[in-house]
């Protein structure tokens, strides 16, 4: 790898600059150095044939200047509280110290295994809010975001709070694995696989370069372990092993990824592999589409955050060569440096540059920041932090917790005279104007329905108002079936009344 260094020759310049960054953005497809190696490695920018800065080095030595002092852990540069919204430049300054300039470091495929390894080549009747981000809260705020493409979304409502060139098709690198993980969790939900099921590594899976966990051909690991390898250490080999286990081949799995993208309405997304290692122009997505697939994963399968929030964990390799421990370290340094960050996935290659889909939770809200094509890792994380901080500082979320059903709806012409109901889904309202959400009022509008009534039929709606203005509504649906009354039912009812009258 070539190192471009600019040395100062005069004595007063001797203490000045680090080695100049190479013109080519380092390609994160090779695994990164172990924590111990990173601590000692010189701060040069290598052309990582496919590997981002290791998260392991962040665990051990994290650049020359420490990122977190004791005071920063309690209140890291104003980023740990949603009470005050930082103005753009103030926010940018706040994250400057949080994510100091760093070179992209890594190893080639032939070098020693990393303890972590972002390598990445590094929803009538819509179905359960499948498509996120249809609603934009207001015009873009003036934020100091230098990355080419960015999106900020509040996850539970799908509200887009900020976007910048969000529909520009770009190479996604390892954030490709968000779709891979979505399909894996769908298989778990369907019962087609289980977390403790064993997966055997193929020669093809073993051959993956870039970020990897160094699986050997024939080696077996559980589905759960491989999920950790994918989401924590960005293992390309683990991604392919899971793809083959689920679909029989990586090609078939990728076909399913594209089918899911089409189902979600992702018109500017197409995949050619399951890990993001490829640099093909046929493998692309957008920041807006990444936000949608990320929301799908987090909303439908929140357990993924239990894995993506892991900072460090060991796995055990059991092969013909023996048993060895291998350390996974999260490639997303915001897990450790940004309060409430619980995921989700990073990625980078020489073509994609630096990308991240970052999820953070505070004050009952879940914010999602997507950054694509950042020029360097520091900018990637700093821009994500600015977006998240803006979201938490400017938004309040109202959630209707009182969803107990009220008086039943009247049924006309049914064997039953009334039917019980329930809320179709929880009501959430995201305010971005500083309104007092304790002033939200709810009114139930329940109508008479005609038999037959099917389970799920609409019987009314709950209307929500703030300061007299409607801010939204939720449909109320039947929680049971009511059959239409026939002639025999009418006779039975009449006989019942007659008997009751005789008794009186």
Residues recognised as catalytic: 174, 177, 234
3-state secondary structure of 362: strand
Nearest to 350 by CA among 100, 176, 119: 119
Q: Which helix (H) or strand (E) holds 161?
A: strand 159-164
Cis peptide before 61 (omega within 30 of 0): no
Q: Which helix (H) or strand (E) holds 225?
A: helix 223-231
| Backbone φ/ψ region at 70: left (φ over 0), alpha (ψ -120 to 50), beta | alpha
Residue carrying the six token digits 């540069």: 77
What is the spatial distance between Cα 157 and Cα 427, in angstroms, rounded to a whole number? Answer: 9
CA distances from 177 to 14, 169, 344 (A): 44, 17, 10
Cis peptide before 452 (omega within 30 of 0): yes
Nearest to 290 by CA among 273, 271, 304, 303: 271
Q: Which residues pair with 355 in a beta bridge?
A: 347
Q: Is 378 labeled as ligand-binding?
A: no
Nearest to 21 by CA among 82, 103, 96, 91: 103
* Cβ–Cβ < 8 Å for 476, 462: yes
Instruction: Measure CA of the first residue to CA of the last residue in the chain; give whole Å.
Output: 100
* Cβ–Cβ < 8 Å for 351, 30: no
Residue ranges for the binding site for substrate?
Answer: 345
Residue ranges for the binding site?
Answer: 345
């Amino acid at each position: 790898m070539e190192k471009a260094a600019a040395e100062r020759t005069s004595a007063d310049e001797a203490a000045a600059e680090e080695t100049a960054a190479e013109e080519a953005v380092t390609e994160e497809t090779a695994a990164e150095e172990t924590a111990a190696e990173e601590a000692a490695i010189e701060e040069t920018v290598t052309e990582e044939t496919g590997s981002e800065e290791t998260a392991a080095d962040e665990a051990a030595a994290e650049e020359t200047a420490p990122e977190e002092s004791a005071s920063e852990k309690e209140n890291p540069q104003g980023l740990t509280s949603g009470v005050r919204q930082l103005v753009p430049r103030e926010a940018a300054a706040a994250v400057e110290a949080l994510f100091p300039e760093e070179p992209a470091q890594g190893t080639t495929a032939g070098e020693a295994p990393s303890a972590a390894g972002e390598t990445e080549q590094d929803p009538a009747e819509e179905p359960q809010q499948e498509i996120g981000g249809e609603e934009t809260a207001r015009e873009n705020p003036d934020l100091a975001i230098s990355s080419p493409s960015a999106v900020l979304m509040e996850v539970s409502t799908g509200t887009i709070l900020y976007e910048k060139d969000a529909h520009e098709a770009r190479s996604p690198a390892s954030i490709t694995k968000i779709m891979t993980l979505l399909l894996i969790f769908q298989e778990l939900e369907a019962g087609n696989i289980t977390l403790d099921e064993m997966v055997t590594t193929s020669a093809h899976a073993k051959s993956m370069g870039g970020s990897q966990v160094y699986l050997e051909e024939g080696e077996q690991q559980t589905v759960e372990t491989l999920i950790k390898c994918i989401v924590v250490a960005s293992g390309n080999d683990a991604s392919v092993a899971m793809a083959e286990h689920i679909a029989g081949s990586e090609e078939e799995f990728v076909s399913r990824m594209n089918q899911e993208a089409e189902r979600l309405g992702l018109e500017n997304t197409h995949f050619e592999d399951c890990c993001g290692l490829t640099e093909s122009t046929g493998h692309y997505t957008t920041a807006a589409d990444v936000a949608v697939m990320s929301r799908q994963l987090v909303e439908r399968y929140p357990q993924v955050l239990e894995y993506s929030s892991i900072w460090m964990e060991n796995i055990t390799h059991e092969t013909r060569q023996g048993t060895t421990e291998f350390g996974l370290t999260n490639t997303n340094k915001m897990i450790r440096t940004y309060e409430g960050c619980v995921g989700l996935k990073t990625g980078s290659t020489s073509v994609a540059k630096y990308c991240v889909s970052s999820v953070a939770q505070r004050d009952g809200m879940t914010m999602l920041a997507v950054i694509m094509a950042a020029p360097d890792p520091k900018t990637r994380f700093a821009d994500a932090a600015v977006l998240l901080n803006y979201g938490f500082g400017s938004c309040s979320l109202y959630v209707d917790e009182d969803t107990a059903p009220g008086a039943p709806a009247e049924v006309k012409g049914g064997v039953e005279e009334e039917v019980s109901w329930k809320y179709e889904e929880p009501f959430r309202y995201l305010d971005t104007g500083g309104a007092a959400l304790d002033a939200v009022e709810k009114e139930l509008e329940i109508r008479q329905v005609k038999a037959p009534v099917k389970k799920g039929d609409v019987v009314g709606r709950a209307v929500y108002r703030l300061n007299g203005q409607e801010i939204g509504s939720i449909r109320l649906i039947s929680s049971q079936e009511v059959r239409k009354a026939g002639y025999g039912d009418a006779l039975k009812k009449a006989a019942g009344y007659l008997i009751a009258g005789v008794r009186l």
